[in-house]
Chain A
Amino acid sequence: DAGVTQSPTHLIKTRGQHVTLRCSPISGHKSVSWYQQVLGQGPQFIFQYYEKEERGRGNFPDRFSARQFPNYSSELNVNALLLGDSALYLCASSLTVNTEAFFGQGTRLTVV
């Protein structure tokens, strides 16, 4: 079975641009969460979606937004990119809430 897949794996963007990151959960998983992992730190929670509704949001500015589609895949959008947005963005899916979260390999975003 395919695990959590994220695309693209690497991305380079210029300050001020917009970026869209994509995540496909494990088949049957209805919950998707996004995390930002800055180099040398633990992941920080950005969003959680369950059954296409936002169920949680971390302490991130409104430049960050996300959505979940009817097939449970998800997009993370970041507007007006800053140098500080450079990080590994991780997506995790789980069958339902409070169950094991399975992570994808992440998207490495570099803002120059």
Chain B
Amino acid sequence: AQTVTQSQPEMSVQEAETVTLSCTYDTSESNYYLFWYKQPPSRQMILVIRQEAYKQQNATENRFSVNFQKAAKSFSLKISDSQLGDTAMYFCAFMNGGGSEKLVFGKGTKLTVNP
């Protein structure tokens, strides 16, 4: 069974600074996808970034980028130029390839951006 571990329950960062959230996962599969989701107090889960395991290039979405280390099974999220609106719970998630829609989530990291 796949597992996702987020070792940082809470983090804080000053506005405009950079922060990195950690995630490790365990799987024996070779075809899979990794995601970072953001859940603000409004409760709605919002996709931040997605990485296909077969792609060596790290995914980037504006101020958000990942460091995907496949051999180490590590998938960290870097947020640059942090904004107050980035304050939220961040969840790392894993999905098997091959037709499954099952997302396996970590326990989350609560990120607070301070003014």
- A-side residues, CB < 8 A to B, are 31, 33, 35, 40-45, 48, 50, 55-56, 58, 88, 90, 92, 94, 97-98, 100-106, 108
State the main secondary structure of chain A at its contact with B: strand
In the bound complex, do residue B101 and residue A90 qualify as a contact, i.e. CB atoms below 8 Å apart?
A: no
In the bound complex, do residue B42 and residue A101 qualify as a contact, i.e. CB atoms below 8 Å apart?
A: no
Which of B12-20, B44-52, B63-71, B76-84 has 4 or more CB atoms under 8 Å from chain A? B44-52
In the bound complex, do residue B103 and residue A35 qualify as a contact, i.e. CB atoms below 8 Å apart?
A: yes
In the bound complex, do residue A97 and residue B99 qualify as a contact, i.e. CB atoms below 8 Å apart?
A: yes
In the bound complex, do residue A42 and residue B101 qualify as a contact, i.e. CB atoms below 8 Å apart?
A: no
B43 part of interface (Cβ distance < 8 Å): yes
Interface residues of B in 80-108 (CB under 8 A from A): 91, 93, 95, 97-108
In the bound complex, do residue B105 and residue A94 qualify as a contact, i.e. CB atoms below 8 Å apart?
A: no
In the bound complex, do residue A55 and residue B99 qualify as a contact, i.e. CB atoms below 8 Å apart?
A: yes
In the bound complex, do residue B95 and residue A98 qualify as a contact, i.e. CB atoms below 8 Å apart?
A: yes
Taking CB atoms, residues of chain B closer than 8 Å to A56 are 100-102
CB distance from B65 to the nearest CB of A (A): 18
CB distance from A79 to the nearest CB of B (A): 23
In the bound complex, do residue A90 and residue B45 qualify as a contact, i.e. CB atoms below 8 Å apart?
A: yes
Complex CA gap A56/B102 in Å reads 7
Taking CB atoms, residues of chain B closer than 8 Å to A104 are 44
Taking CB atoms, residues of chain B closer than 8 Å to A90 are 45
Q: A42-B91, A42-B108 are in contact. Are A101 and B103 (CB under 8 A)?
A: yes
